[in-house]
């Protein structure tokens, strides 16, 4: 079985060989820009890794890995528009570099290309790929809508938030692993189990992203420091802070949430001080660990070689113990 580094190189080499149309440039330049600014390519690697976990050569799932990568980038382009985010991976977001219309259309184009790659060399697996991919795409859209609904919703519970990130983020991680399992010809039980592994890991990854958004170094994360705080995003951190704050802390926190005009740096500093007083980071990290452990319990049930399980376990740990 290939190492994580070898799988990463395998996919990167494949990605660099792909050619997308260049006319009209207004459509393809934003698309190629988004692909070129990098990223961890985590979901694509998980497709390849899952394929090899079930003792199949990862090269047989390269086009499906590309489909997952394109779909993920499509969601990021549209998500950045909705969040009015200025930075992605340390670079200008697509709508900032070009314009909103170009970003929307190039994102749509990436989605169409994702389907083209999903169906390449699919053979008798075409139905399984489409059913699972389409179900995942629907869940992602539902999750994004819930995320936007939360902006107007006065109170959001921890349970509601976890459900939202499961749909918006985690199911795509599960999808990546299941697509790789399907490519390898894994049975239905194991395909379902590895999807659950990915879903639980996806929740843990998103909680880690939430933590890094507030506590990470912008130079390492490549995102606006405290972006969630600035936008009043109802993350687990904010939800727990509102729940645990005493009357004075809650009054100060709510005053920042209500302000229409403020210094972003001052707001982030003030809210982080409250988070630190309330021990919010430790609470979020404990929730993250719970979902990681749930993922590992599903992983243990898989009927595969122990050394193959270890590869996925090590990959997960690498992503959860990170600074960006």
List pLDDT tens digits, range 32-72: 999 999 888 999 999 999 999 999 999 999 999 999 999 99
User: Residue range 81-102: average pLDDT?
Assistant: 93
User: Would you state the pLDDT for residue 108?
Assistant: 97
- Classified as helix, coil or strand, 156 is coil
Tokens of 10: 């395998």
pLDDT at 223: 61
Distance CA 180, CA 148 (A): 31
Helices (H), 216-263: 218-221, 227-230, 236-244, 247-258
Structure tokens at 280: 């919010």
Residue range 133-146: average pLDDT? 97
Checking if the pLDDT of 222 tops 70, the result is no
Question: For a pLDDT cut of 70, what percent of the chain falls above it?
Answer: 97
Tell me how far apart the alpha carbons of residues 164 and 169 are, in angstroms, rounded to a whole number.
8
Q: Is the pLDDT of residue 322 over 90?
A: no
- Which domains are present in the chain? 4-320 (1.10.600.10)
Asked if residue 24 has a cis previous peptide bond (ω within 30° of 0), the answer is yes
Quick one: which of 148, 322, 74, 103 has its CA closest to 220? Answer: 322
Q: In the prediction, which pLDDT does 84 show?
A: 87
CA dihedral 9→166→37→45, nearest 10 degrees, is 10
| H/E segment holding residue 184 | helix 171-184
Residue 219 banded pLDDT, cuts 50, 70, 90: low
Tokens 């996925």 correspond to what residue? 312
List, for residues 97-114, the tens digit of each pLDDT value: 999 999 999 999 999 999
Q: Is the pLDDT of residue 324 over 60?
A: no
Run of H or E including 88 = strand 87-88
C-alpha to C-alpha distance for 111 and 172, rounded to whole angstroms: 14
Say if residues 118 and 66 touch (Cβ distance below 8 Å). no
Residues in the chain: 324
Q: What average pLDDT does this structure show over 112-141?
A: 97
Q: How confident is the model at residue 189 (pLDDT cuts 50, 70, 90)?
A: very high
Share of the chain above pLDDT 90, in %: 87
Angle, vertex CA 256, rays to CA 222 and CA 284, nearest 5: 55
């Amino acid at each position: 079985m290939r190492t994580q580094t070898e799988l990463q190189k395998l996919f990167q080499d494949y990605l660099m060989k792909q050619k997308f149309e260049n006319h009209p440039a207004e459509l393809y330049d934003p698309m190629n820009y988004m692909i070129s600014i990098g990223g961890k390519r985590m979901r694509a690697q998980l497709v390849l890794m899952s394929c090899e976990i079930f003792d199949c050569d990862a090269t047989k799932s390269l086009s499906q890995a590309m489909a997952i990568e394109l779909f993920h980038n499509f969601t990021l382009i549209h998500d950045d528009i909705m969040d009015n985010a200025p930075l992605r991976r340390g670079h200008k977001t697509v709508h900032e570099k070009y314009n909103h219309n170009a970003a929307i259309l190039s994102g749509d184009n990436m989605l169409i290309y994702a389907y083209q790659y999903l169906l390449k060399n699919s053979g008798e697996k075409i139905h399984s790929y489409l059913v699972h991919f389409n179900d995942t795409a629907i869940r992602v859209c539902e999750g994004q809508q819930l995320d936007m609904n939360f902006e107007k919703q006065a109170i959001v519970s921890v349970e509601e938030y976890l459900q939202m990130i499961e749909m918006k983020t985690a199911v795509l991680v599960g999808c990546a692993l299941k697509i790789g399992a399907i490519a390898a010809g894994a049975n239905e039980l194991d395909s379902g189990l590895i999807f659950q592994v990915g879903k639980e890991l996806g929740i843990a990854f998103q909680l880690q992203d939430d933590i890094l958004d507030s506590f990470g170094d912008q130079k390492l994360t490549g995102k606006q420091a405290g972006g969630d705080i600035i936008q009043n995003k109802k993350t687990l951190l904010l939800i727990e802070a509102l729940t645990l704050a005493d009357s004075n802390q809650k009054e100060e926190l709510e005053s920042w949430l209500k302000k229409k005009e403020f210094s972003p740096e001052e707001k982030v500093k003030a809210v982080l001080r409250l988070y630190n007083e309330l021990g919010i980071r430790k609470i979020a990290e404990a929730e993250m660990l719970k979902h990681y452990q749930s993922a590992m319990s599903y992983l243990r049930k898989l009927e595969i070689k122990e050394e193959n399980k270890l590869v996925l376990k090590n990959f997960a740990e690498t992503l959860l113990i990170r600074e960006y």
